[in-house]
């Protein structure tokens, strides 16, 4: 094992502290309707999901859907966000963040793309809307 200097050790310690602090901040944040418009980038709606709550937020910060995965269309707010984008913009992108457990599969909506950092747990009943 090679020796590191005191200066390198302090630098690595600082990087570790920043990484630990930012990961704690990311894990403790919860879905909110108070989202700055710069967060959306090129997407027109964002859908957040935790184990108990799902929330879909439109590009102007309005809440499109708030509930559980079995509420509404049974898609954790994803279908409602896709409808919002289709009705208001004709086409666009919906970002997904979190873990989703849909319970049904309505008809797919053309010209609306799903993107983001998410896991969608599919079953034979729910895969159609996401794989078409």
The answer to whether residues 12 and 73 belong to one domain is no
**Where in the sequence is the domain holding 56, given as residue range(s)?**
37-131
The answer to whether residues 16 and 75 belong to one domain is no
Tens of each residue's pLDDT in the chain, 132 residues: 567 777 776 777 666 665 555 544 444 444 544 444 444 457 789 999 987 789 999 988 899 999 988 888 888 899 999 999 999 999 999 999 999 988 898 888 888 989 989 988 888 888 887 776
Element (H, E) at 87: helix 78-89
The answer to whether residues 14 and 62 belong to one domain is no
Using an 8 Å Cβ cutoff, are 103 and 127 in contact?
no
Q: Which residues contact 70 (CB under 8 A, 6 or more apart)?
A: 103
Q: Greatest CA span in the chain, whole angstroms?
A: 62
Q: What is the number of domains present in the chain? A: 2
The answer to whether residues 8 and 71 belong to one domain is no
Nearest to 98 by CA among 68, 128, 123, 58: 68
Element (H, E) at 92: strand 92-100
Structure tokens at 77: 């707010």
């Amino acid at each position: 094992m090679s020796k590191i200097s005191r200066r390198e050790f302090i630098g690595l310690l600082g990087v570790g502290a920043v990484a630990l602090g930012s990961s704690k901040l990311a894990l403790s944040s919860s879905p909110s309707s108070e989202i700055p418009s710069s967060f959306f980038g090129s997407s027109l709606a964002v859908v957040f999901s935790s184990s108990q709550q799902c929330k879909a937020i439109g590009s102007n910060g309005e809440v499109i859907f708030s509930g559980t995965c079995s509420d509404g269309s049974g898609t954790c707010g994803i279908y409602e966000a896709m409808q919002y984008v289709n009705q208001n913009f004709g086409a666009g992108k919906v970002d997904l963040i979190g873990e989703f457990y849909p319970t049904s599969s309505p008809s797919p909506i053309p010209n609306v793309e799903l993107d983001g950092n998410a896991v969608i747990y599919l079953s034979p009943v729910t895969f159609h809307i996401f794989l078409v």
